[in-house]
Amino acid sequence: MRVLAQVAMVMNLDKCIGCHTCSVTCKQTWTNRDGVEYVWFNNVETKPGVGYPRRHEDQERWRGGWQVDRRGRLKLRSGGRVKRLLGLFANPDLPDLDDYYEPATYDYDTLVTAPAGPHVPVIRPKSAITGEDMAITWGPNWEDDLGGAPEHAPADPNLAAMAEKVRMEFDKTFMFHLPRICEHCLNPACVAACPSGALYKREEDGIVLVDQDRCRGWRMCVSACPYKKVYVNHRTGKAEKCTFCFPRIEAGQPTVCAETCVGRLRYIGLVLYDADAVLGAARVAGPRDLLEAQRRVFLDPDDPKVAAAARAAGIAEDWIEAARRSPVYRLAMRYRVALPLHPEYRTMPMVWYIPPLSPVLDAVTGMGADADDPDNVFHAITDLRIPLGYLASLLAAGDTEVVAGALMRLSAMRAHMRARAIDGSVDEDLLAAAGMTAEEMEEMYRLLAIARYDERY
């Protein structure tokens, strides 16, 4: 066992209001400059939808992440070292600007300087790349709130992975928002793919960075990252990516995206893990076993043996204490409501998500919660509008049981807390079904609902 510490994040999609404040504060702080106009270290996607860049989840196309070969060896999907070297100058798996979008600016000063003319002065889009007039036909958030979804969303790879058919019809509408940053993976494909050794995972906190001095602009990292969270600065030609705000983390501050999240849905915490176990976990055969495999890599900070090993590995006492207080560890391991994004990519991502509940509507039949019992106000999770299969494709390699379990615990928490708030009663059957004690349920409630600043980070 070799203990390492990792800063990790959980985002509660059930609280995400899709406001994109995280995107804007991140952009203003980090990528508001030439060469990275089109780059959003943090972006938010509306699901279902093809995302940014388009269809980035389609690894048949982009060949990102890892796969296990017939002999059980872990290999980059983009191929071995030789293949990648051959592709250095003609990488076919690289999204082009159209897959992202052509950033626009406007001739703003026209409004002030327009000479007297026949019409009201107007500013029009100009390409931020070429300076020429342009028509805006795509953007980093084109599909916001299902805009254009009937035309584009059917190409969402998660829909193809589902058993049931999703129709883009008013009565069937569902959506949720998916904020994304770099996953700072335990098994980062970008690092492995870099011919220059420019990408690295920081020993002390697991943050994955691009050494700007060593980057030679090969762009193998862009292809290899299945989340498409490494970008090319077209001015410098070098790769850039989310830094997990390391200058802030080092000063004891949360990332910009987390601190400015007005939905209060982001949690940052330290996770201790066994670096020696990562490879084994990443190559378990079944994609649906990857979640449990990754959970087994995480070490219980309350286990004295783990603490001792961590100390032996040079991890400071305050870091071990931080791991014990980690909201990420609690959400992922204790309450088991947080799940990794696309575990099947085998990168062991370290930004996890709590799946969203969703409303019930049956405009046609008016079905809903118990019509005869006005005290029974909640619906069963099987009635929710977001198909379990969709969430399972995103967060559980297709395993709907896993998603249902997380949603059930959220749902049970609501029922439990409602009873507590209204008449103080406790339903033991409900707790048993959720596999949690009342104390655990209420601790989880505090973490998810009250969620103070110093409890979130």
Partner 1 sequence: MTDIDAVPGMGPLLAARKFFTRAEVSADGRTLHRIDPGAWDRFYRDRWAHDKVVRSTHGVNCTGSCSWQVFVKDGLITWEHQATDYPSVGPESPEYEPRGCPRGASFSWYTYSPSRVRYPYVRGVLLEMWREARDRLGDPVLAWAELTGDPERAGAYKRARGKGGFVRSSWEEVLELLAAAHVHTIKRYGPDRVVGFSPIPAMSMASFAAGTRFLSLIGGTLLSFYDWYADLPIASPQVWGDQTDVPEAADWWNSRYLIMWGSNIPVTRTPDAHFMTEARYRGTKVVAVSPDYADNVKFADDWLAPHPGTDGAVAMAMGHVILTEFFRDREVPYFTDYVRKYTDLPFLVTLEPRGDAYVPRRFLTAAELGQRSENAAFKTVFLDEATGAPVVPDGSLGFRWGREGEGRWNLGLGGARPALTLLGRSGRAVAVDLPRFDEGATEGGSVMRRGVPVTEVGGRLVTTVFDLLLAQYGVARGLPGEWPEGYGDAARPYTPAWAEEITSVPAATIARIAREFARNAEVTRGRSMIAMGAGTNHWFHSDQIYRSFLTLVLLTGCQGVNGGGWGHYVGQEKVRPITGFQHLAFAFDWQRPTRHMAGTAFWYLATDQWRYERVGAGELASPLGEGLFAGRSFADCNAQAARLGWLPSHPAFDRNPLVLADEAAAKGVPVAEHVVAELTSGRMRFAAEDPGDPANHPRVLTVWRANLLGSSGKGNEYFLRHLLGADAETRNEETPEGLRPAEVTWRERPAEGKLDLLTAIDFRMTSTALFSDVVLPAATWYEKHDLSSTDMHPFVHAFNPAIAPPWQTRADYDIFMELAERFSELAARHLGTRTDVLAVPLTHDTPDELAQPGGRVRDWKRGECEAVPGVTMPKIVTIERDYAAVAERMRGIGPLLSDLGLTTKGVTYRAEPELEHLRGRNGVTPEGRISLATADRMCEAILALSGTTNGRLATQGFETLERRTGTVLADLAAEHEGRRISFADTQARPQPVITSPEWSGSETGGRRYSAFVINVERDKPWHTLTGRQQFFLDHDWIIELGEQLPAYRPPLNLRRHYGEQDGGDGAGVVVRYLTPHSKWSIHSEYQDNAHMLALSRGGPTIWMSVEDARAIGAADNDWIEASNRNGVVVARAVVSHRMPAGTVYMYHAKDRNLNVPLTERSGRRGGVHNSLTRLLLKPSHLIGGYAQFTYAFNYYGPTGNQRDEITVIRRRGQEVSY
**Which range, of 54-62, 170-178, 392-400, 427-435, touches partner 1 by CB under 8 A?**
170-178
Burial class of residue 197 (count of CB atoms within 10 Å of its CB; 0-12, 13-18, 19+): exposed
Tokens of 134: 């342009």
Tell the smallest beta-carbon distance from residue 345 to partner 1 (Å).
14
Of the two residues 118 and 304, which places its CB atom closer to partner 1 in the complex? 118
Task: Name the residue with tokens 């991502």.
Answer: 349
Output the six-digit token pair for 456: 């979130």
Among 191, 297, 331, 430, binds partner 1 (CB under 8 A): 191
Of 157 and 356, which CB lies nearer to partner 1 in the complex structure?
356
Q: Which is nearer to partner 1, 95 or 206 (CB)?
A: 206
Which of residues 69, 164, 250, 302 is near partner 1 by CB under 8 A?
250
Question: Is residue 68 a contact residue for partner 1 (CB under 8 A)?
Answer: no
Neighbours of 68 (CB within 10 A): 16
DSSP string, 26-45: HIIIII-STT-TT--SSEEE
Q: For partner 1, give the closer residue by CB, 122 or 401.
A: 122
Burial 12-51 (b: 16+ CB within 10 A, else e): bbbbbebebbbbbbbbebbbeeebbbbbbbbbbbbbbbbb
Q: Nearest approach, Cβ of 23 to partner 1 (angstroms)? A: 7
Using rule CB under 8 A, residue 69 touches partner 1: no
Q: Which of residues 429-448 bind partner 1 (CB under 8 A)?
A: 445, 448
User: What is the three-state SS of 277-343?
Assistant: HHHHHHCCCCHHHHHHHHHHHECCCCCHHHHHHHHHCCCCHHHHHHHHCCHHHHHHHHCCCCEECCH
The yes or no reply on residue 308 touching partner 1 (CB under 8 A) is no
Q: Is 426 in the site for partner 1 (CB under 8 A)?
A: no
Give whichever of 384 and 392 is closer to partner 1, judged by the CB atom: 384
Footprint (CB under 8 A) of partner 1, residues 321-360: 321-322, 325, 356-360
Q: Which of 195, 246, 201, 244 is nearest to 224 (CA)?
A: 195
Site string for partner 1, 203-222 (x = CB under 8 A): xxx---x-xxxx--------
CA atoms within 13 A on the CB side of 429: 0
Q: Rounded to whole angstroms, how far apart are CA atoms 36 and 236?
A: 10
Interaction with partner 1 in 11-30: which residues (CB under 8 A)?
Answer: 14-15, 17-21, 23-25, 27-30
Place of tokens 């799940």: 339
| CB contact at 8 A, 190 and 252 | no
Please give the C-alpha separations between residue 3 and each of 238, 271, 278, 294, in angstroms, as whole numbers.
32, 10, 11, 14
Contact predicate 436/444, CB 8 Å: yes
For partner 1, the closer of residues 50 and 399 by Cβ is 50
**Which residue among 86, 111, 163, 433 contacts partner 1 (CB under 8 A)?**
111
Per CB under 8 A, the segment of 296-304, 332-340, 413-421, 425-433 that binds partner 1 is 413-421
Instruction: Give min distance, CB of 331 to partner 1, in A.
Output: 13
Which of 72, 115, 304, 424 is the binder for partner 1 (CB under 8 A)? 115
Q: Tokens standing for 32?
A: 């508001």
Rule CB under 8 A: is residue 456 a binding residue for partner 1? yes
Could you say which of 416, 430, 431, 436 contacts partner 1 (CB under 8 A)? 416
> 């992922």: which residue's tokens?
332
**Residue 38 and residue 128: Cα distance in Å, rounded?**
9
34 binds partner 1 (CB under 8 A): no
Q: Single out the segment in contact with partner 1 by CB under 8 A; choices: 85-93, 290-298, 365-373, 424-432.
A: 365-373
Near partner 1 in 277-306, by CB under 8 A: 278-279
What mask of x and - would describe binding to partner 1 in positions 125 to 164, judged by CB under 8 A?
Answer: x----------xx-xxxx-xxxxxxxxx------------
Q: Does 415 bind partner 1 (CB under 8 A)?
A: yes
Choose one: 267-275, 293-301, 328-336, 398-406; the region binding partner 1 (CB under 8 A): 267-275
Q: How far is the CB of 212 from partner 1 (least distance, A)?
A: 5
Instruction: Give how many residues touch partner 1 by CB under 8 A.
Output: 152
Nearer to partner 1, 149 or 406 (CB): 149
Q: Are 214 and 196 in contact (CB under 8 A)?
A: yes
